[in-house]
Amino acid sequence: MSAAKRSGQATATVLGLWMVLLCVVGAGDTSGWQSRGSVSVLASWTSAEGKAFRDLLDTFTRRTGVHVDYQGTTALREVLSSEVGSGTPPDIAVLPSSGELAAYASQRQLTPLNRVIPSRERRAYGRLWTPQLSANGSVYGIAVKADLKSIVWYDHGRRTGTLPALAADGRQWCVGMGDDATSGWPGTDWIEDLLLQQQGRSVYQDWATGGLPWTDPRVQRAWESWGSLFGRDTARTALITDFRKAGSKLFDADPPCALEHQGSFIRSGYPRPDKADFTFSRSLLPDADRGSTAREVSGDFAAMFRDTPQAQELMRYLVSAEAQRTWGRQTATKSTHPFFANPGVPLDAQGDDKVDRKIAETLRGSDSLCLDASDAMPTRMRLAFQHAALTYLSDTTRQPDGLLRSLEKIRQSLRHADDQPWLSTVCG
């Protein structure tokens, strides 16, 4: 064989190999031969919310080469408990309950984030969104997403001056207690907000952290205020209505109800989110302090169950202003809008929507914010609270004394339970 022929074959072989390599690189998404490992994530976001979060995780993968295995489920508590119990927890879980975060930390299932997330970043969030769950000041979770409660939704075509009269009419509230795995929590939101708006942050925090008895007259007053707010038909309908459907006809020409007490997340589920506006609940709830600046909020807390380089890298990304800015802008033209507690995220990250801007601005006022009380309570207390709310709504003509005594017994039994810890603070 001539040298020229051998040279030609060699060149063809090299070119062939380059073509194969180019095909591999072109077909891959950094999860193939360039992969830097993987990280597993469990969260409650599904459907449109889940897709938006996956888009963010895909951005992380393209930047780092770390593949993310995401599992979204509405039964997060049950799935996570099963995986932890079997010794196969996810690397990272995003918990919608600060109480469950505290429980897993007390069981030594979580990795402290003090050495993972720079102190400057943690301080920027503030103590409300980075709850310290041990005497040594360790942080085990950071809120990567937040929502505003203590608000009432209505059709922006209504004059705000008509809202108090509508609120006093028990037939005008859109109410739904149902949910896939945790029915009753919308009722706990009502009672929590009533206590917060009637009694203020100090009493609310004392109760939410296990220091105030359920039988305290101020707590009972909140329950009774809730019971007196609805007509019998509204209460009964609420028990068989999914919370996602409660306000679905709020913007009809002749709506069956005119007001919905629900968190900021509900707007994305409305058929006409562009017609939705809100007012702070203090102006409409019975016996509320009309000058109150207290607001109830909720957070989704990212926590690390397995300490790996990939998990650390993703944690740093998720809590960063850059990632949340990307998350917000990727959903700016969609109906699913996340909100954030990170002050480094611009208020216009989701576009120029005035309602979204008002929510985002309120979430920055940490001095007036308090975490959802039932979310902060130990799991057993929270579940009992949800069940009691359903029981009371089934017959609001009776006094809640018996239910409150039962809840108080549970509080007493959990006061010193190491595996069911209470947070030391829930307000900023």
CA trace torsion 351, 147, 234, 401 (10° rounding):
-170
For residue 5, the model assigns a pLDDT of 40
Asked which of 127-136, 270-279, 304-313, 381-390 is least confident by mean pLDDT, the reply is 127-136
Section 160-185 average pLDDT: 94
**Beta partners for 40?**
69
- 308 backbone dihedrals φ, ψ, rounded to 5°: -125, 160
SS3 assignment for the chain: CCHHHHHHHHHHHHHHHHHHHHHHHHHCCCCCCCCCCEEEEEECCCHHHHHHHHHHHHHHHHHHCCEEEEEECCCHHHHHHHHHHCCCCCCEEEECCHHHHHHHHHCCCCCCCCCCCCHHHHHHHCCCCCCECCCCCCECCEEEEEEECCEEEEECCCCHHHHHHHHHCHHHECCCCECCCCCCHHHHHHHHHHHHHHHCHHHHHHHHCCCCCCCCHHHHHHHHHHHHHCCHHHHHHHHCCECCCCCCCCCCCCCCCCEEECCHHHHHHCCCHHHEEEEEHHHCCCCCCCCCCCEEEEEEEEEECCCCHHHHHHHHHHCCHHHHHHHHHHCCCCCCCCECCCCCCCCCCCCCCHHHHHHHHHHCCHHHEEECHHHHCCHHHHHHHHHHHHHHHCCCCCCCHHHHHHHHHHHHHHCCCCCCCCCCCCEC
Q: What is the mean pLDDT of residues 97-122?
A: 95
- The domain defined by 150-293+376-414 folds into D-Maltodextrin-Binding Protein; domain 2 (3.40.190)
Return the domain boundaries, the chain.
Answer: 38-147+297-370, 150-293+376-414
The pLDDT tens digits for 386-423 are: 999 999 999 999 999 999 999 999 999 998 888 889 99
Q: Measure the CA–CA gap between 299 and 142, rounded to whole angstroms.
A: 9
Long-range contacts made by residues 183-186, C-beta under 8 angstroms, separation at least 24? 183/386, 183/390, 184/385, 184/386, 184/387, 184/389, 184/390, 185/374, 185/386, 186/243, 186/246, 186/262
Tell me how far apart the alpha carbons of residues 219 and 373 are, in angstroms, rounded to a whole number: 13
Once rounded to an integer, what is the mean pLDDT over residues 19-29?
37
Residues 199-209: tens digit of each pLDDT: 999 999 999 99
Indicate the residue type of 199: Q
Phi, psi angle pair for 171, to nearest 5°: -85, -10
Position with higher pLDDT, 50 vs 15: 50
Q: How far is Cα 171 from Cα 237, in angstroms, rounded to an integer?
A: 11
Q: Choose the CATH number for 38-147+297-370 among 3.40.1400.10, 3.20.20.70, 3.40.190.10, 3.30.70.3000.
A: 3.40.190.10
Q: How far is CA 180 from CA 47, 71, 187, 232, in A?
A: 14, 17, 15, 24
Is the pLDDT score of 2 beyond 90? no
353 compared with 141, residue with greater pLDDT: 141
Q: Which residue has the tokens 């390599």?
A: 21
324-350: pLDDT as tens digits? 999 998 886 666 789 999 999 998 886
Distance from the first to the final alpha carbon of the chain: 83
d(CA 100, CA 90): 15
Mean pLDDT of the chain: 90
Residues 269, 336: Cα–Cα separation, whole Å: 8
Q: Do 349 and 329 meet the contact criterion of CB atoms below 8 Å apart?
A: yes
One fold for 38-147+297-370 and 150-293+376-414: yes
Give the HSE-up count for residue 405: Cα atoms under 13 Å, Cβ half-sphere. Answer: 3
- Mean pLDDT, residues 128-134: 85
What is the rounded distance in angstroms from the CA atom of residue 267 to the CA atom of residue 288? 24
The percentage of residues in the chain with a pLDDT greater than 70, rounded to a whole number, is 90
